[in-house]
Amino acid sequence: MNSRTAKKAIGGNSRLLDLHRTMLLIRATETALSKLFADGEIPGFIHLSLGQEAVAAGVCSALGPADTLATTHRGHGHVIARGIDLGGFFKELMGREGGQCKGRSGSMHVADMGLGILGANGIVGASVPLALGSALAHQTRATGGIAVAFFGDGAMAEGALHEALNMAALWSLPMIFVCENNGWSEFSPTARQFRGKLANIAGAFGIRHIHVDGNDAEATADAAREAADHARATGPVVLECMTTRFHGHFEGDPQKYRDSEEMAAMAAGDPVARSRARLIELGMAAADLDAIVSETEARVAAAVEASRADALPDFDATLADVYTPMGAH
């Protein structure tokens, strides 16, 4: 069954199938990255969002072409859900010429201005003021767009978040503050990092706070739609998505600080397994869902092969490209 007949089979729930496909693409991409990293094919360090796919898929499903986003060190899912070219993405992470950022950024700074992606970020909290400014540009230029700031629970401790909440409220900026609360910042649980409650902090600025199970793709998509409508019509809104980080802080982190109970509970909350079960409940055949997995994995494998074959970036051309060439704009 091809995807059109698959959609027909689940009636009005093609949205869930779309979300599921996006999540599968993130899952397949990051599963491949985990292996490539272990094999030494990805330099530097990478932070995977396995387990957090529903947040990326759900939030990006609410965005239109004019909208913009800024994300974090754990941003692969967001840029994939926004539609980044898979080839350019893998080439970037593998340090190739054809990378989306010409091999200069790697995992932590991957960006696609054409898609309104203002970059992943190596600095915790930095995405928030960037999105704030992007929202200011939307407002000033009347683009009709909104800006999304993805940030982790750990970033709640950075002053930048609090400063940006105030300014967004002051200026009624069209912006969603999306907190991906996975309960951990690096090797420390949120409870030992942050004494406030995001709902209360948002409330202190008169900003609406929406709380959602970020491992439920449909619920997250609904909440994101509501948040986006609010941002467009009224002003800033906080969307807090509760989710789960499956892997270590970075690949290679043995996670000795997490107890076995927490690790065991992960599978039960797996957002991809949950959407799959729901689709089957709605009448989709498991075999059709498996076929989508295979197609997705094949797409990822092809992108990896193309990256391997791509040239290495040229040093002199890179050095010559620190500033905008005269007359380029």
Instruction: Name the residues that contact another protein, by CB under 8 A.
Output: 43-45, 95-96, 99, 103-106, 108-109, 121-125, 154-155, 157-159, 185-188, 192-194, 257, 312-313, 315, 318-319, 322
Quickly tell me which residue has 């609010």 as its tokens. Answer: 230
Rounded to a whole number of angstroms, the minimum distance from the CB of residue 18 to Mg ion is 27
Rounded Cα distance, 271 and 314, in Å: 41
C-beta separation of 179 from 151 below 8 A = yes
Residue 150, SS3 per DSSP? strand
Rounded to a whole number of angstroms, the minimum distance from the CB of residue 224 to ligand TPP is 18
Rounded to a whole number of angstroms, the minimum distance from the CB of residue 147 to another protein is 21
Nearer to ligand TPP by C-beta: 241 or 303?
A: 241
Rounded Cα distance, 49 and 30, in Å: 8
User: With binding defined as CB under 5 A, does residue 68 bind Mg ion?
Assistant: no
Give the residue, chosen from 99, 152, 236, 271, that forms a contact with Mg ion under the rule CB under 5 A: 152
Rounded to a whole number of angstroms, the minimum distance from the CB of residue 157 to another protein is 3
Give the CA angle between residues 265, 267, 270 to the nearest 5°.
115
Rounded to a whole number of angstroms, the minimum distance from the CB of residue 303 to Mg ion is 28
Sheet holding 175-181, edge to edge: 68-70, 147-152, 175-181, 237-242, 208-213
Nearer to another protein by C-beta: 12 or 159?
A: 159
Strand partners, 112: 117
Residues 176-195 close enough to bind Mg ion by CB under 5 A: 182, 184-185
Rounded to a whole number of angstroms, the minimum distance from the CB of residue 311 to another protein is 9
Nearer to ligand TPP by C-beta: 31 or 143?
A: 31
Nearer to ligand TPP by C-beta: 128 or 279?
A: 128
User: With binding defined as CB under 5 A, does residue 153 bind Mg ion?
Assistant: yes
Q: Which among ligand TPP, another protein, Mg ion, none contacts residue 133 (Cβ within 5 to 8 A by kind)?
A: none
User: With binding defined as CB under 5 A, does residue 52 bind Mg ion?
Assistant: no
> What are the angstrom distances between the C-alpha of 169 and each of 69, 135, 228, 236, 237?
18, 12, 15, 6, 9
Rounded to a whole number of angstroms, the minimum distance from the CB of residue 184 to ligand TPP is 5
Cα–chain center distance at 102: 21
Q: Which among Mg ion, ligand TPP, another protein, none contacts residue 243 (Cβ within 5 to 8 A by kind)?
A: none
> What single string gives the DSSP state of each residue in 78-125?
HHHHTT--HHHHHHHHTT-TTSTTTTSS-GGG--BGGGTB----SSTT
Element at 35 (helix H, strand E) = helix 14-38
Token duo for residue 213: 């199970």
Residues 67-86 close enough to bind ligand TPP by CB under 6 A: 72-74
Rounded to a whole number of angstroms, the minimum distance from the CB of residue 118 to ligand TPP is 17
Q: What are phi and psi of 137, to 5 degrees?
A: -65, -40
Nearest to 166 by CA among 154, 181, 177: 177
User: With binding defined as CB under 6 A, does residue 182 bind ligand TPP?
Assistant: yes
Q: Which among another protein, ligand TPP, Mg ion, none contacts residue 74 (Cβ within 5 to 8 A by kind)?
A: ligand TPP
Q: Beta strands 175-181 and 237-242: pairing type?
A: parallel
User: With binding defined as CB under 6 A, does residue 20 bind ligand TPP?
Assistant: no
Burial of 85 (0-12, 13-18, 19+ CB in 10 A): middle
Q: Which among another protein, ligand TPP, Mg ion, none contacts residue 119 (Cβ within 5 to 8 A by kind)?
A: none
Binding site for Mg ion (CB under 5 A): 152-154, 182, 184-185
Binding site for ligand TPP (CB under 6 A): 47, 72-74, 122-124, 152-155, 182, 184-186, 245, 249
